Structure 1
Amino acid sequence: MVMEESRTMPSKRQHNTDGRIARGERTRDAIVEAHTDLLREGVLKPTGKLIADRAGISVRTLWANFKDLEALLQATTAYWDTADLELRVTVEPSLPLDERIDAFCSQRAARLEHIAPAARSAVLGEPFSAALQKSRQTHVDRLRSEIEVLFASEIAKGGDELKYALVTATSWPNWQIMRDDYGLEPGQIIAIMRRTLHALLD
């Protein structure tokens, strides 16, 4: 009986391997957290040293966990993509139009404000990074799909022109212009977004 139990017990080598894997995951999580925190603080293009210092590791450890900047950006954009999905709340398409517009605009504002630090940073590196390009396309496709479902009955009458007008009106570039160039507060932008959608959909 003792021999049978010993066969099921993990070996010392397995313990060591599992420990290394867990430590590696914690280190990578710390690096991604440091990167995202710096973006939130307005450091749009943090250096490897700055990220490593914030994570409490050496630059060598940083690049041992992520072979290059593109690998780090893949992990960071995955974090932002997941966080955006967690903020998503399904709006019932059968609701009256006014209620759909209000719910969609409020939710959209919260998600755009949340992802703003990453989006501002991505502008600087997107032409040179497949990870950033893929992330942007993911968000564009996600927005278009949500609009197609939520305003399906109206789009069926208005066609693709209406659909793309809705996508443009609620996109990150449009939000950024009003937020950064015009200096408007989120509440003001929500009011503009609602007015625009009513004009397009009513």
Structure 2
Amino acid sequence: MFFDHSSTSAADDSLTADGRRNRTILTRKRIVAALAELMREGQVAPTAQDVSLRANVGLRTVFRHFDDMETLYREVDLEVQSTVASILNMELKAGHWRDRLSENIKARCRLYDTITPFLVSAQVHRHESTQIDNNLKRHVALERTILKRLLPKSLVADKARFEALLMLLSPQAWMRLRREQGLSSAAAISCVQLSAQALVA
């Protein structure tokens, strides 16, 4: 029996290439996850050394996958923005606009508790990265668009009340309630709901 050694060799090369590609993808994901973990733990600006230690890879490996720390921060920021968009765009079940607004507020607040460390870090790094700065601006634009969908036209046309409500439902307002004012998540949600009801009354 004769074997086609050239085809066997080609198959082996393909498997080897696939293995390298998979390892590259896994290592890259591990580096991104390491930065995300450090940020979630409260480190606003982890260094490349911090990331390499957490990911259990060499410092050179970090920069083999990412040109610089700004690129790595952008990678995490993109994942956060994707999560934000999916939550804010979630389908609301309530029928009346007031109930849909209340439902949206609860979803936003739960989301903000999850992403606050990343938003704080993004604010720190926005002056270093045009993309992060643009992502933060797009986030505000998305919040504005969704709020317009939720409210009746008469409230959208009332610029002062609309902008006040947009600010009330922002992550910055949530961080103030949770961090500076020391409210629990449940108490902060009640505060936002009560304030929103007063604004749309």
Give the Cα separation in 2 of the matches to 1:138 and 1:162.
21
Please say if residues 39 and 118 of structure 2, whose CA atoms lie closer than 8 Å, have aligned partners that are also in contact.
Answer: yes
**Structure 1 residue 20 displacement after superposition:** 1.8
Give the Cα separation in 2 of the matches to 1:138 and 1:186.
26
* Matched AA of 2:49: K
- Tell me: CA distance 1:151–1:10, structure 2 relative to 1, closer, same or farther (3 Å): farther
Unaligned stretches of 5+ residues in structure 2: none
Aligned pair 1:58/2:53, yes or no? no
Task: Quote the residue 1:163 is aligned against.
Answer: 162
**Structure 1 residue 182 displacement after superposition:** 1.0
1:172-187 aligned within 5 A: 172-187=171-186
Please say if residues 77 and 131 of structure 1, whose CA atoms lie closer than 8 Å, have aligned partners that are also in contact.
Answer: no
* Matched AA of 2:30: A
**Structure 1 residue 110 displacement after superposition:** 0.7
1:90-129 aligned within 5 A: 90-92=91-93, 95-129=95-129
**Structure 1 residue 91 displacement after superposition:** 1.8
Give the Cα separation in 1 of the matches to 2:140 and 2:28.
27
Give the Cα separation in 1 of the matches to 2:184 and 2:10.
57
Please say if residues 91 and 150 of structure 1, whose CA atoms lie closer than 8 Å, have aligned partners that are also in contact.
Answer: no
Please provide the CA RMSD for this pair: 2.5
Please say if residues 101 and 198 of structure 1, whose CA atoms lie closer than 8 Å, have aligned partners that are also in contact.
Answer: no
Partner-residue secondary structure (3-state), 2:158: helix
- Tell me: CA distance 1:10–1:82, structure 2 relative to 1, closer, same or farther (3 Å): farther
TM-score, normalisation: structure 2: 0.87
Aligned pair 1:135/2:135, yes or no? yes
* Matched AA of 2:75: A
Task: Quote the residue 2:187 is aligned against.
Answer: 188
- Tell me: CA distance 1:149–1:98, structure 2 relative to 1, closer, same or farther (3 Å): closer
Please say if residues 80 and 115 of structure 2, whose CA atoms lie closer than 8 Å, have aligned partners that are also in contact.
Answer: yes
**Structure 1 residue 48 displacement after superposition:** 0.5
- The size of the alignment, in residue pairs, is 198
Task: Quote the residue 1:12 is aligned against.
Answer: 12
Cα deviation, 1:127-146, whole Å, max 9, x if unaligned, reads 22223212212321221111
- Tell me: CA distance 1:199–1:23, structure 2 relative to 1, closer, same or farther (3 Å): same
Percent identity of paired positions between Structure 1 and Structure 2: 23
- Tell me: CA distance 1:10–1:91, structure 2 relative to 1, closer, same or farther (3 Å): farther
Task: Quote the residue 1:82 is aligned against.
Answer: 82
Deviates more, 1:58-67 or 1:74-83: 74-83
Deviates more, 1:96-105 or 1:23-32: 96-105
Moved over 6 A (4+): none
* Matched AA of 2:195: T
Give the Cα separation in 2 of the matches to 1:138 and 1:201.
25
Unaligned stretches of 5+ residues in structure 1: none
Deviates more, 1:80-89 or 1:145-154: 80-89
- Tell me: CA distance 1:182–1:21, structure 2 relative to 1, closer, same or farther (3 Å): same
